[in-house]
């Protein structure tokens, strides 16, 4: 996430955790939150770090600039075990081919 402060982001994070719990009756799905403090190069590295964790099955990004994140998303989808990357509030038109 680019930013994690404020009511909206608090609710978004809680919603992600609740949804993970709903799809996981054995309580095996864990939600890890990373913040990049508005720096897309840090966010891209965090995407790659998460993708290289063998326990990661999917990644959700919030905000960010496609010009800096598309390569990280493409790498995550095409070179790791990550099955999906979902992006929220992100203009990913330039890398949408990688997403679908």
* pLDDT, tens digit, 9 for 90 and up, residues 20-64: 888 777 777 777 888 888 888 999 999 999 999 998 888 988 888
- Read off the pLDDT band of 94 (50, 70, 90): low
CB-CB neighbours of 60 under 10 Å: 17
* pLDDT, tens digit, 9 for 90 and up, residues 5-21: 778 888 888 888 888 88
Q: Please name the residues in contact with 71: beta carbons below 8 A apart, sequence gap of 6 or more.
A: 44
User: Whose CA is closest to 71, among 100, 50, 91, 41?
Assistant: 41
pLDDT for 97 equals 55
pLDDT for 99 equals 43
90-48-9 Cα angle (round to 5): 40
pLDDT for 100 equals 45
């Amino acid at each position: 996430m680019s930013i994690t402060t404020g009511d909206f982001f608090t609710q978004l994070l809680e919603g992600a955790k609740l949804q993970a719990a709903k799809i996981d009756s054995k309580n095996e799905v864990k939600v890890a939150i990373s913040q990049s403090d508005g720096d897309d190069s840090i966010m891209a590295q965090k995407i790659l770090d998460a993708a290289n964790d063998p326990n990661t099955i999917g990644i959700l990004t919030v905000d960010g600039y496609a010009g800096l994140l598309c390569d990280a998303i493409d790498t995550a989808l095409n070179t790791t075990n990550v099955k999906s990357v979902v992006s929220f509030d992100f203009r990913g038109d330039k890398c949408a081919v990688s997403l679908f």
